A and B are shown apart, each in its own frame.
Chain A
Amino acid sequence: MKNTQLEKDARERMKPGVITARGFLGRDERSLADIIQADEEAFRRLGLEFDAVADRLEAWKESGTRGLGEPITVEGRWLVRTGDARGVLPCPWEDGVYHKNSVDVTDPRNGDLIIYSDLSVHLLRVHHFCQGLGSPFRLDPDTLARMMKA
């Protein structure tokens, strides 16, 4: 799939050592357009909406902050821990700056774990970018679907 110059520039900024030491791409060598297209197809297949998932991630974060940095059980099911780090991170598409934080949500039913930040939620909601395969902050559509299932 053809990439716009904006996507090519964003991909360069996603490499390790540019915005974050680890980058956003993991071991994924596909272009941004290909990564996004594949994950959009997965979202359609799984019946997920990007805005609804982003809203859910923000809700978990809000509930998790009540734990004051310690893990806390949310809605009787998910174990959520929120943490903060020094500084802010710009979006690789250069359309915003986000506080450096991390939220980890575990589903004790099956051990599923997702890790995300305010920037991850923005990347998902606005750019439909779940991060590359192997990135620790990747929001894998299949994992999201399992975690959001009642």
Chain B
Amino acid sequence: MSPLLIGPLATGAISGLLALVIALTDRVVNNYGEVTVDINGGKKSLKVKGGSPLLGTLAAENIFVPSACGGRGSCGACKVRVLSDVGPHLPTETPYLNPEELARNVRLSCQIKLKADIRIEIPDELFYVKKFAAKVESIRDLTYDIKEVRVLLKSPASIEYVPGQYAQLVVPPYDDIPESVQRAYSMSSRPGEPDHVEFLIRLVPGGIATSWVFKYLKQGMDVDLVGPFGEFRVHDTPAAMICVAGGSGMAPFWSMFRDMKEKNTFPEKDIWYFFGARTTRDMFFLDELRALEKDMPRFHFVPALSEPKTEEGWTGETGLITDVLDRYLKEKIDPSKPKEGYLCGSPGMINACIAVMTKNSIPEGGIYYDKFA
């Protein structure tokens, strides 16, 4: 054999041997075998292959913990309480957990690798969450930056949910987005039409999911949804509902109001809906909401513009929606009746509305909200 070949051959042989050693070591060291995941004190027990993150392992077993970032540890949504010892909190988890959650050993399920048997606690409702294959039936422009997306469920072919709950839309990789992500949107549809789901989606400049919806999502396309999630819903009390939302924040209310009308649920409840926008081009469903007001006398619709243009000829309420809400609570809504607040929007909007409501004697414990964040 030529001496010139000895060097490369020896290097190749050593590299191959090292690769074999690494592969064998990996199989031995990282082979955690079968592990048991006990959920909610034995309500469900799974035998799964160890070695993967808890979030993905649960999803493979059709238990879907909410997650917006697809397991990258950047949304902080996939919290579960862990009752077994899985080691201390990781630096990737602590920014998302408050002191109480840290003390209760709440963990991000995407950051926990299954190495041994584990006991966890999750909300029982997550047992009913499913992944749905659907087809886009229609996409409608409601404003220049809000679309209504209506999908037909194919498998499973129907969904049970409570008005106010949300589902996660699965966005596939596109353009420079290398991985699938999921984003949560309140369902604006009626549970009385269980084979369809509708969403109101507002374009967020630079937003991954909304850019995909506005650029690529078309009628007839297949999409996946995961849901239902969330605890935002109408509470069974005689108190009047004081609802506030603008833009796509209307989605859960559009579902609630139509369901209440259709089924005549909570008949003793008065409903006030405050809808804030900047100009008339930011408003939608005005005719539908006014028609609902006629059909359901206990429903009161208060649209308000913060910056109406003279040429729009707007004769309704003007000002920031918090100011309009304050005026109505002081002057127009019967002060003797109990009230509860329902809010959907950004944390800033919710905090501002809570301040107005509590100042007007609505107890903070009776204010329910679906924060976008």
**A interface with B by C-beta (< 8 Å):** 16-23, 26-27, 65-73, 82-90, 97, 99-102, 104, 113, 115, 136-137
Contacts and interface: CB of A to CB of B under 8 A. Distances in A.
A21 B176 CA distance: 9
Interface string B226-250: 0000000000000000000011010
A86 B373 contact: yes
A85 B247 CA distance: 15
A105 to B, nearest CB: 10
B282 A88 contact: no
Interface residues of B, number: 43
B320 A88 contact: no
Interface stretch (B33-41, B71-79, B80-88, B132-140): B71-79
Interface stretch (B202-210, B290-298, B326-334): B202-210
B75 A86 contact: yes
Nearest to A71: B278
A86 B352 contact: no
Nearest to A94: B91
Interface of B: 68-70, 72, 74-77, 95-96, 176-179, 181, 184, 204-208, 246-247, 249, 276-278, 282, 306-307, 320-322, 345-349, 352-353, 371-373
Contacts of B95: 88, 90, 97
B179 A21 contact: yes
Contacts of A22: 176-177, 206, 208
Contacts of A70: 246-247, 276-278, 282, 306
B76 A66 contact: no
A21 B349 CA distance: 27
Given A87-B68, A87-B76, A97-B95, A82 B346 contact: yes
Given A20-B74, A68-B322, A102-B206, A84 B278 contact: no
Nearest to A96: B95
Contacts of B247: 69-70
B205 A115 contact: yes
9 smallest CB-CB distances across A and B, nearest first, come from A136-B206, A68-B349, A87-B75, A84-B373, A69-B346, A97-B95, A87-B76, A84-B346, A115-B206
Given A70-B247, A86-B68, A87-B68, 8 more contacts: A67-B278, A68-B346, A68-B349, A83-B372, A84-B348, A84-B372, A86-B75, A101-B373
Contacts of B349: 68-69
26 contacts: A16-B179, A17-B72, A17-B178, A17-B179, A21-B70, A21-B177, A27-B176, A65-B348, A66-B320, A67-B306, A68-B276, A68-B352, A69-B249, A70-B246, A70-B306, A82-B346, A84-B346, A84-B348, A84-B373, A86-B184, A86-B373, A87-B69, A87-B77, A89-B74, A102-B206, A104-B206
